[in-house]
Amino acid sequence: MEKKNIKKAQQALSALLAVFPTTENLALFSGNTANKNIVESFLAFALRHGLIKKNEVKSLHDLIRQHSRPYQDLIPPNLSFEELLEKKQEVLKMKLSGRALTDRINSLLDEHRIELPKVSNSMLTRLKREPANTIYKQHVLRSLSFWLGYERGQLGPQWNFEALVKLCRDSRPMKQYKEGARIGFALCSRGDVVDQDIVDWLKTAVKNYIEQSALHFLYGRWGKVRSHDMTTLHVDFPKEDESDDPVFYHECLRSAISLAHHIAIRWALSKHNTKNRFLSIGIVAGDFGDLVNYLLPVLNAKLPGDPVIRVTDYVRQCLLINDIRVILCGRPSETTLFNGEPLTLWWVMALWSTLYFDFVPDLLEDPILKNDPASVETLTRVLWPALDNRPRSVGMKELNAVTIFLKFPLNSLLGVEIAKTFFFGAASGKPWKCFVSSFQSIRPIWSREL
């Protein structure tokens, strides 16, 4: 069989298994005489692709029994059908709009003469908020399953009809939270242009971190990146309880601080970061209806030393009450709200504890910070250039975390992250002496800031 035909047969098999993930599912479906035309279209489909030799349900049953795979434990946690469609680019690896997706599904059904109903945007909208409790809704989900199996079979067996039914059954109205934490990101030009590519980089970085840390954000659709204007974004995280007690800001503020921490370090290491561009990150808390009046002054405040992450006095109080381990400045500053009201601001100097805040992956992958002899040699040349006898043209040209920090030595957040990587890298490998001595050499620079 030609390679092209083999691929088509594999896609066809994947599509069949997506529509009928188990033999029990097929038996239940084929046992309903109302589905006779649909079953016959699938039999013809399987015959055309050489998957079965006889035009009978038993052959299809044997095919599914032979190739079906367990999938129950592969469904992403805390996911609804609405979230699946909203996050289809991340979860299903597709950039299609809703209308383009339905067009592609319907075109595939026509191409292979499958007698399932066509998919409409209105029906997908209904399935976002309703269980698949009618035969027609279930047929629509089989149409979607057929397309997923045929076009996205590489994602695995979990994206099948039974999984989609479960996602619809688990769908529930989103709770309307009124209070929580809002984290804002503002890009400011100080001479260099802030173009759309830089804004897109920031939006993608924020979105990716939230997606990759989904288990830490238990808020359903909350956590969506929203634009305030061309260069300002914000994300909302609601607090756990409606009570006014600040103790219920624990999870939302920890999520906001964790996000701010990672984006601040990623920005410092980004090619977009220059002395003529500045990223400020502000965290405010309270009633979502009032927070916009506080967030913009926090983001735009001119503070000594240009700290990236700044918080209001109320956020600081909640951080202390909830024992969220951040190192804040010793003395606050003050800005003015739009109505003339003074507002006290604090800023984050460092996040040291690895028990509360994870390492930043960009630093763990930085070539100069790896715990191997080549990295140690390169690091030595960067920190003690007088020991490097080679011609300057042979030296290390590409940027890395250490050289970036030496360009911006007031960035205490980055300095502490590098020190963390050195410190814990020193405990895990043989070149520990050089790591510790390197840690000691940069320590005076950032310790003055703390």
CATH of the domain at 252: 3.30.70.1230
Helices (H), 217-370: 250-269, 288-300, 313-321, 361-364
pLDDT at 176 over 80: no
Asked if residue 165 and residue 44 are part of one domain, the reply reads yes
Tell me: do 383 and 346 sit in the same domain: no
Structure tokens at 148: 């997923």
Of 149, 169, 189, the residue at which a domain comes to its end is: 169
Average pLDDT over residues 177-201: 92
Task: Specify the number of domains making up the chain.
Answer: 3
Beta strands 226-229; 333-336: pairing state: unpaired
Q: Is there a domain that residue 356 lies in?
A: no
Which token pair is 56?
Answer: 């009978």
Lowest mean pLDDT among 17-21, 284-288, 310-314, 414-418: 414-418
Q: What is the pLDDT of residues 24-50, one digit of tens each?
A: 889 989 888 889 999 999 999 999 999
Domain assignment present for residue 174? The answer is: no
Query: How far apart are alpha carbons 78 and 218 in whole angstroms?
Result: 8
Place of tokens 């996602």: 167
Position 398 pLDDT exceeds 70? no
For the stretch 90-99, contacts whose Cβ atoms lie closer than 8 Å and that sit 24 or more positions apart, written own/partner, are 90/211, 92/148, 92/152, 92/155, 92/159, 93/152, 93/155, 94/152, 98/124
pLDDT at residue 147 in the model: 92
Residue 355 inside a domain? The answer is no
Which of 315, 331, 350 is the last residue in one of the domains?
350
Q: State the average pLDDT over residues 356-369.
A: 75
* Contacting residues for 208 by C-beta, under 8 A, at least 6 apart: none
Find the helix or strand (DSSP H, E) in which 349 lies: strand 342-350
Asked if 270 and 185 count as a contact pair (C-beta separation under 8 A), the reply is: no
Sequence-distant (6+) residues with CB within 8 A of 132 are 138, 141, 164, 165, 168, 169
| Shared-domain flag, residues 135 and 187 | no
State what percent of residues in the chain have pLDDT above 70. 82
Distance, in Å, from the CA atom of 164 to the CA atom of 369, rounded to the nearest integer, reads: 44
Give the length of the chain: 450
Coil, helix or strand at residue 297: helix
pLDDT value, residue 444:
44
Structural domain for 41, as ranges: 3-169
Region 254-267: mean pLDDT is: 92
| Strands 309-312 and 342-350, sheet pairing | antiparallel
Are residues 365 and 250 located together in one domain of the fold? no
Question: What pLDDT band is residue 397 in, cutting at 50, 70 and 90?
Answer: low
Q: Are residues 206 and 225 in the same domain?
A: yes
Would you say residue 264 lies in a domain? yes
- Between CA 72 and CA 399 the distance in angstroms is 45
391 and 307 in one domain? no
Regarding whether 164 and 35 lie in a shared domain, the answer is: yes
pLDDT of residue 8: 86
pTM metric for this prediction: 0.58
CA dist 392 and 128 (Å) reads: 61
